[in-house]
Structure 1
Amino acid sequence: MSQKLILDHVDKVFGDGESSVKVLDQVSLEVKAGEFVAVVGPSGSGKSTFLSIAGALLSPTRGRIMIDGSDISQVTEKKMNRIRLKKIGFVFQSSNLIPYLTVRDQLLLISKLAGSSNNKAEQRAIDLLQRLGLKHRMNSYPQSLSGGERQRVAIARAWMNDPEIILADEPTASLDSERGRTIVKMLADEVKSREKAAVMVTHDKRMLDLCDRVVYIDDGKLSELT
């Protein structure tokens, strides 16, 4: 299996001189196609910074980030934006849906930003909503959806541009156990069936059996658990 995501001896330091803080310390991780990895650790351990760097939202102070074979560690902001749109799908703790857009338009906006054709995007949106059991909600606004429905819309949005890598930040935090497990199972099934690579930061240990590996982060250092 090919490696979709590689973090190679990554450091992240915020600030300068004596006031600087090292948030990530020699972090290395490889995630293969078809692999779903969970990252666990206490609050303040570096999980959010780790995910931001893996998702090209932050650049590392040192080390390399490889996405689908390309080193993105020091690319321009413009190229970074293209990588995020084309290669990476984000699922956040709260769904972060735009309140004045319908479910359908949440998805079409992502394709528009990536420059996809309208007809193909429309069909892609319908297919995704059908897969996630939301086709009947395509003209609804976020305020009329349940918490589980909003998170499924967020997943559909993350998948809209068929990314190689899926990054999820506490995707079950606002959901009860049953709905949370449904969401994580959807992510796991997508990873396996379509040979994606996924990393999920979570506090919810009840979801870890759905992942292939679990890594632990504390004080900015990463270690393998399973």
Structure 2
Amino acid sequence: MTLIMKNISKSYQDGEQQIEVLKNVSLEVAQGEFVAILGPSGAGKSTFLSIAGALLSPTTGEILIGGKGLSNLSNKELTKVRLDKVGFIFQGANLIPYLNVRDQLLLIAELAGQKGSKAKEKAATLLKELGLEARQNNYPESLSGGEKQRVAIARSLMNDPDIILADEPTASLDADRGHKVVQMIADEVKKKNKAAIMVTHDERVLDLVDRVIRIEDGYLKE
């Protein structure tokens, strides 16, 4: 299994009150598997995704990414795990306005310590694969919503991660574009044998995933 989450709970202190967002949830995602997490707003989907991507530590429970436990890692080591092992696709694409499409990808390579012609080759291959070759010198402001999300997919694959985590990737897209973007994520997951989790409200794209898990009141229900 590429991602293993065992008995994960997450609670916050809100004044006098203890708020439990996740309650003893467990999930395993294998290589080449694309899982959708569905649930209403405030059900804990984003918290779940942040914990899966080592952005947030659970209150209790254990996470393993690629067989490596995260519990005892320092902040520096967790940053390295995120850079080497996890690819994030955010809701609004989260592109850097002053970088062109190609440089959005090369920045990830640089942060992960990959430089030179190998990184440029990788970026060129991904942009071609996702139909962005002609847009590589464009800046985010001149891209459509669908193109921005395709850049976000390419960027998430740049560090060759074990896991891809997508947070509401269709939120700002119409039905047709949304379906195409999730189809691309699904294709890349299969082709590159990645484990992927997508948090979504969008039931129209569920035909593209292998498993649907609902999150309600902090519990996972398959």
TM-score class, shorter-chain normalisation, is over 0.9
Q: Distance in 2 between matches of 1:62 and 1:179?
A: 39
Structure 1 unaligned residues grouped into runs of 5+: none
* Counterpart position of 2:29: 31
* Counterpart position of 1:180: 178
Task: Using the TM superposition, give the Cα deviation of residue 15 of structure 1 relative to its aligned residue in structure 2, in angstroms.
Answer: 1.6
* Counterpart position of 1:154: 152
Task: Using the TM superposition, give the Cα deviation of residue 74 of structure 1 relative to its aligned residue in structure 2, in angstroms.
Answer: 3.5
1:114-160 Cα shifts (integer Å, max 9, x gaps): 10022111110011000000011111100011111111001111010
SS of the residue aligned with 2:2?
strand
Q: Distance in 1 between matches of 2:55 and 2:218?
A: 17
1:44 is the counterpart of 2:56: no
Which one of 2, 18, 21 corresponds to residue 19 of structure 2? Answer: 21
How do 1:48-197 residues align onto structure 2 when only pairs under 5 Å count? 48-197=46-195
Question: Any runs of at least 4 consecutive aligned residues in structure 1 with deviations exceeding 6 A, and if so which?
Answer: none
Task: Using the TM superposition, give the Cα deviation of residue 20 of structure 1 relative to its aligned residue in structure 2, in angstroms.
Answer: 1.8
The more displaced of 9-18 and 123-132 is: 9-18
Q: Distance in 1 between matches of 2:142 and 2:115?
A: 29
SS of the residue aligned with 1:126?
helix
Task: Using the TM superposition, give the Cα deviation of residue 13 of structure 1 relative to its aligned residue in structure 2, in angstroms.
Answer: 1.1
* Counterpart position of 1:12: 10
1:195-221 Cα shifts (integer Å, max 9, x gaps): 110000000001001000000101111
Q: Distance in 2 between matches of 1:66 and 1:171?
A: 24
Structure 2 unaligned residues grouped into runs of 5+: none
Q: Distance in 2 between matches of 1:155 and 1:58?
A: 22
SS of the residue aligned with 2:215?
strand
Structure 1 length as normaliser, TM-score?
A: 0.96
Aligned-residue sequence identity (percent) comes to 62
Query: Contact 1:59–1:74 (CA<8 Å) still a contact in 2?
Result: no
SS of the residue aligned with 1:94?
coil
Q: Distance in 1 between matches of 2:4 and 2:221?
A: 15
Whichever residue aligns with residue 200 of structure 1, its letter is M
Whichever residue aligns with residue 93 of structure 1, its letter is Q
